Amino acid sequence: MGVPELYQKFTNEFKPAYEMLSTNPNSPDLMDQCKQLMTDLRIGLLDLDIKLPSQYDPDVIDKEIYLSREILEYGAIMSVLNRDDKGLENYVAQLKSFYNDYRFLPDSEKKDSILGLYLLYLLSNNRIGEFHTELELIPDQNNKYVNFSVTMERDKMEGRYNKIFQAHENLDGKGLGFYSPLTEKLCDTVRNDIADSLETAYESLSIGQLQQLLLLDTDISLNQFISERGWNVVDNVIHFSTVNVLENELDALEIIGQSLQYAHELERII
Amino acid sequence: MSDTSNDMMDLEENIEHIIDDDQESTPVDVLEVLEKLIKLAQKTAKTKEDRHLQRSIRSSFSKKFRDNLSAEILLKLVLRYFPDDNSEKGQLVDALNANVDIIDLEAEPPIEIYQEVEIYISLLVLVFVIDQKRAEDAVELSSKLIARLDTWNNRTLDPLSSKAYFYYSLSYEIVDRLDDIRIKLLELLRTATLRHNHEGQVMLLNLLLRNYLHYSLYEQAYKLVRRVDFDKDHASSNQLSRYYYYYGRIKAVRLEYSEAYTYLQLALQKAPQSTAKGFQAIVNKYLCIVRLLLGEIPERGLFNNPTLKHVLQPYLELTKVVRSGDVSLFGEIVNRYSNIYTKDNTLNMILRLRHNVIKTCLKKINHSYSRISFEDICSKLNLDSSEDVEFIVAKAIQDNIIDAKINHDGGFVISNTSPNEYASSAPQKAFHERVSFCLQLHNDAVKAMRYHEVKTGQN
């Protein structure tokens, strides 16, 4: 497929389908249709001859670079909607090379949202180290997408889980509708965090209180959660096993090892 | 043998004499010293032992000595030592831009020139051009010098070549084109490793790390550090301290604060104590932040150091605010000094400190109250709603920041009484840390001892 045909397919077939999908996000037919079109577009991308940045004349920008960048951006958004982690990483890796290496291109409109998306993805998978290294690479953080992800990270670190759940509910209000699978994943991760802290902080909790704290709506999901965690339910109350064994015994092996080390070194001195 | 050592002593005295600020050093003195250095370089070339050259080049590249170089002196050297058919002679002469009338052309130029001497003089010219702030010329000169060095594979050139790499990177950094040379530096590192050029390896690794960190490419820097071994035995303490600083910075960004803290402290220890003020300042800044992120407060003594006081002022304010636990004041301070923080590349890490402010506040509350309700905590922390408070306290308990239990129905937090510290093994651990540090220090000192140069036949 040459550049003009690809462009036609992209504008006339994919874009309208995507528009319809954003208005009806839960329709499986539209989702399948978009997925199919995206696969075709990706195959079409392979035929394009994208050269290294140094081989391009900065003043004459070919249409193919713009086109491939846009297709990749939509691909990234599609993989978020499909909950396709590997696909997302692939797309973002390719897009990063477009953003960083092809410097003569003017910035894409979607750049900030894709970067914010990637940050949120790293956060929801608990890859905080990578989150911070990626954040260092973004010079200008004053846009709503990156701000959103940064606020989420801060709330998760501080423990203000309420805010995270609220943000998940209010996504459409901020125009971040397509973030919802990621925030859902983040809420799950956060629930695990909450459960961890519940185990250490409380001695016992009733089922009602637990439901309130974990913000799980249905009883079924609550029971599933409890069984996954392996908590004992007695009379609708859960007792957390407190690990309060004070280490009154001395670790003999360690002390022996240390003393031998001291003796060895001292012998060397004398 | 005694002849050389006598020469060396004289030479070092002469260099000291020139560096000494009180006396005016005439061009003749400088020229004399340079001639002696070149003779040493020739001796190195002949005997293939680099110890003749090693010590002297270190002192001849110091700042004060470089101040005494001038275009005329260097031109004399070039004319005296470079043969006419040498490819580099022409561009060196052009680069110097010297006043040719003053120089009286002396006897015939020599037939050939040793590699060491050529590189040494080229290096002096390069350093001179950089000092004159002619950045573009320096870039050209250094690239040509590196290309020339590539063609030779001579171990005695190692100390000179590592200095050449350094000035190559420096000249590109001044014109802000560091990313152009990244590939070249990687290539040079590969070659140096193959040829067992230890000094070059160490220097190039540091230059590459500097390159990556300049562009905030922490991921790639981390990968490089993991793959390449840093040869501690062959590195001078300056290089070692640079390496530890870069490594500490990478670790700090990756949230591994305790390791970062160790490495940054090592960097400070190995750094020269009387010079390199800028380096000390930046390492201290990072140390301060990493300590805050670890949850400890840096000591007052750190900020009272007279030379660093002014530079560390924003960080002192930051420490005060983290200690007080006031979140709104924290935001104010960050905004006020955000320009300085951005220049130091520390802004992102400082934003992470917001969490630490809350932690400190919680700790203080926990120590002072045995039982406190959520609403009270909420007002003390200046938070919006008390639902958040419950989660925050639960997370803090899980992170071992405070030792308490939450009573959900009553809506309050009860602190636990702290167990007897001496009954646990914590003192033993702390003691063991200190003892192993002292023993390590002792071993390092023993390894670093050297014998004096033995003077034989002195009657």
**Which carries the bigger pLDDT value, residue B20 or residue B307?**
B307
- Chain A residue with CA closest to B439: the answer is A265
Residues in chain B with CB shorter than 8 Å from the CB of A215 are none
Over residues B212-233, mean pLDDT: 86
- Identity (one letter) of the amino acid at A258? Q
Read off the tokens for B459.
């009657």
**Over the stretch B59-117, which tens digit does the pLDDT of each residue have?**
677 776 777 777 777 777 777 777 776 777 777 777 776 655 555 555 566 777 777 77
- Is residue B180's pLDDT more than 50? yes
Å between A205 CA and nearest CA of chain B: 8
Number of C-beta neighbours around residue A141 at 10 A: 17
ipTM, 2 decimals?
A: 0.74
Q: Which two three-digit tokens encode residue B253?
A: 């960004």
- Ordered mean pLDDT values, 10 residues apiece, chain A (270 residues): 74 78 75 81 76 67 77 84 85 85 76 87 87 83 83 85 82 74 85 81 78 76 78 74 57 83 83
Helix axes B2-19, B51-60, angle to 10 degrees: 10
DSSP string, A37-62: HHHHHHHHHHHS-PPPGGGS-TTS--
- Looking at the partner chain, which of A203, A213, A248 has a beta carbon nearest the beta carbon of B405? A203
Nearest CA-CA distance, residue A161 and chain B, Å: 7
Tokens of A192: 């695990």
pLDDT, one tens digit per residue, over B381-433 is: 777 777 778 888 888 888 877 778 888 777 778 877 766 666 667 788 888 88
Tokens 């160490």 correspond to what residue? Answer: B202
Between B159 and B283, whose confidence is greater?
A: B283
CA distance B160 to A227: 68
The amino acid at residue B305 is N
Mutate to test the interface with A, among B216, B362, B398 (most CBs of A within 10 A): B398
pTM score, two decimals?
Answer: 0.79
Q: State the pLDDT confidence band at B245, using cuts at 50, 70 and 90.
A: very high
CB atoms A247 and B354 under 8 Å: no
Interchain CB contact of A251 with B (< 8 Å)? yes
Q: By C-alpha distance, which of A161, A181, A162, A157 is closest to A171?
A: A181
Shortest alpha-carbon distance between residue A93 and chain B (Å): 13
Confidence (pLDDT) at B1? 42
Backbone phi and psi for residue B266, each to the nearest 5 degrees, phi listed first? -60, -40
The residue count for chain A = 270
Contact (Cβ atoms closer than 8 angstroms) between residue B241 and residue B270: yes
Q: Sheet holding B412-415: strands in order across? A: B371-373, B412-415, B404-407
Strand duo B404-407 + A237-239: pairing: unpaired
pLDDT at B247 over 90: yes
Helix (H) or strand (E) holding B206: helix B198-214
Check residue B25 and give its pLDDT: 54
Beta bridge partners, B404, equal B415
A92 Cα to chain B: minimum distance (Å): 16
Site of tokens 């004349």: A57
A263/B contact by beta carbon, under 8 A: no
Residues B310-342: tens digit of each pLDDT: 888 888 888 888 887 777 888 888 888 888 888
- Check if the beta carbon of residue B56 is closer than 8 Å to that of residue B40: yes
Pick the more confident residue, B7 or B333. B333
